[in-house]
């Protein structure tokens, strides 16, 4: 298996238990899952075989298997895959899991061309700093997707990172530290800047336009884009407070979903969701 720079799998092995619970940790982190599931329901075919590359502990696989899909999970973290196996057994969906693979998005050689009726790549692309490697990963993701089928790609918003630096005093030095110029200007985050093993590893922070262009340059037709945290982005305390008011929360969730693909909101969210469709070749 070809793997990304060691800091990425090492990071996810190190925080595997925390990562496995991240999307259900609290109401704020739940938004990413709920809004992503909304768009999966909207754009996935009614049935079929799905690949979740970079799917970690398999939370999306569990949700989709319960809806009747066959799923295959791949990830670079052995510890997260181990957690996924236990979660699949706990959920009773092993019969819908077609395979579990240790794999890097840049090398999906274990899968034949056009194997899947939909592909989720909700993490790999934003952990690939070098452009040539992102291109290779996109080629592989599109290769294993059937013509006309949807692909879902998550990005970490560069504009959202700027907001994070603003509101977090411990990151304030990154505005003026020369080491961070590459991140501020190109979205390239390097693990080597940190000594703490729990610090975020190599990553590519992007704008919505950059994510869309990357996908379109590799054979996808854009169907939609969305803000995963939307209007709640960077407002964790306020979001948690509102969750205690059931009636207000219901209205807020409806607003978040209805406004999630508003262009003026997407770029300022923490996570961006891109939805594309593999193009069918022009017969002429």
**pLDDT tens for each residue of 99-118:** 999 999 999 999 999 999 99
Considering Cα of 78, then 150, then 133, then 11, what sign does the dihedral take? Answer: negative
**Of the candidates 202, 154, 125, the residue with the CA atom closest to the CA atom of residue 32:** 154
Write the DSSP assignment of 212-226 as a string of letters.
HHHHHTTTEEEEEEE
Q: What is the pTM of this model?
A: 0.95
**Of the candidates 130, 140, 107, the residue with the CA atom closest to the CA atom of residue 187:** 130
Of the two residues 182 and 280, the one the predictor is more confident about is 182
Q: How far apart are CA 200 and CA 275, in angstroms?
A: 25
Task: Compute the average pLDDT of residues 201-218.
Answer: 97
Tens digit of pLDDT for each residue in 256-277? 999 999 999 999 999 999 999 9
Phi, psi of 159 (to 5 degrees): -65, -35
Q: How far apart are CA 156 and CA 88, in angstroms?
A: 28
- pLDDT-derived band of residue 283, with 50, 70 and 90 as boundaries? low
CB contact at 8 A, 124 and 54 = yes
CB contact at 8 A, 112 and 144 = yes
1 pLDDT above the threshold of 60: no
**The pairing of beta strand 49-53 with beta strand 118-121:** parallel
Tens digit of pLDDT for each residue in 22-66? 999 999 999 999 999 999 999 999 999 999 999 999 999 999 999
- pLDDT-derived band of residue 195, with 50, 70 and 90 as boundaries? confident
Task: Compute the average pLDDT of residues 159-187.
Answer: 92
Q: Which residues pair with 75 in a beta bridge?
A: 102
Domain limits, the chain: 7-278
At the topology level, CATH places domain 7-278 in Rossmann fold (3.40.50)
Query: How confident is the prediction for the chain on average, in pLDDT?
Result: 94
161 pLDDT above the threshold of 60: yes
pLDDT score recorded for residue 202: 93
Angle among Cα 105, 108, 113 to the nearest 5 degrees reads 125
pLDDT score recorded for residue 254: 97
Q: Which helix (H) or strand (E) holds 186?
A: helix 181-186
Q: How far apart are CA 205 and CA 276, in angstroms?
A: 19
pLDDT score recorded for residue 281: 75
E strand residue ranges, the chain: 49-53, 70-75, 97-102, 118-121, 150-157, 188-189, 203-206, 220-227, 271-278
pLDDT score recorded for residue 5: 58
Distance, C-alpha 234 to centroid of its chain: 17
């Amino acid at each position: 298996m070809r793997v990304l720079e060691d800091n990425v799998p090492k990071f996810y092995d190190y925080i595997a238990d925390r990562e496995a619970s991240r999307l259900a940790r609290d109401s704020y982190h739940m938004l990413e899952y709920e809004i992503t599931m909304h768009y999966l329901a909207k754009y996935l075919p009614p049935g079929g075989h799905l690949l979740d590359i970079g799917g970690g502990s398999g939370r999306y696989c569990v949700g989709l298997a319960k809806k009747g899909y066959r799923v295959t999970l791949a990830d670079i973290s052995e510890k997260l895959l181990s957690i996924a196996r236990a979660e699949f057994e706990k959920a009773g969906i092993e019969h819908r899991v077609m395979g579990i693979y240790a794999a890097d998005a840049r090398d999906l050689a274990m899968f034949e061309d056009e194997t899947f009726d939909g592909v989720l790549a909700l993490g790999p692309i934003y952990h690939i700093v070098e452009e040539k490697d992102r291109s290779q990963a996109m080629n592989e993701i599109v290769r294993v997707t059937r013509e006309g089928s949807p692909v879902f790609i998550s990005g970490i918003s560069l504009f959202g990172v700027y907001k994070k630096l603003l509101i977090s005093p411990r990151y304030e030095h990154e505005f003026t530290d020369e080491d961070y110029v590459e991140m501020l200007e190109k979205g390239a985050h390097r693990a080597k800047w940190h000594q703490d093993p729990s610090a975020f590893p190599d990553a590519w922070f992007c704008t919505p336009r950059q994510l869309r262009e990357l996908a379109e340059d590799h054979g996808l037709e854009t169907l939609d884009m969305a803000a995963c945290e939307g209007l709640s982005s960077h407002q964790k305390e306020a979001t948690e407070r509102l969750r205690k008011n059931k009636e207000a929360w219901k209205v807020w969730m409806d607003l978040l979903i209805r406004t999630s693909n508003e262009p003026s909101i997407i770029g300022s969210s923490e996570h961006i969701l891109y939805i594309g469709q593999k193009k069918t070749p022009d017969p002429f």
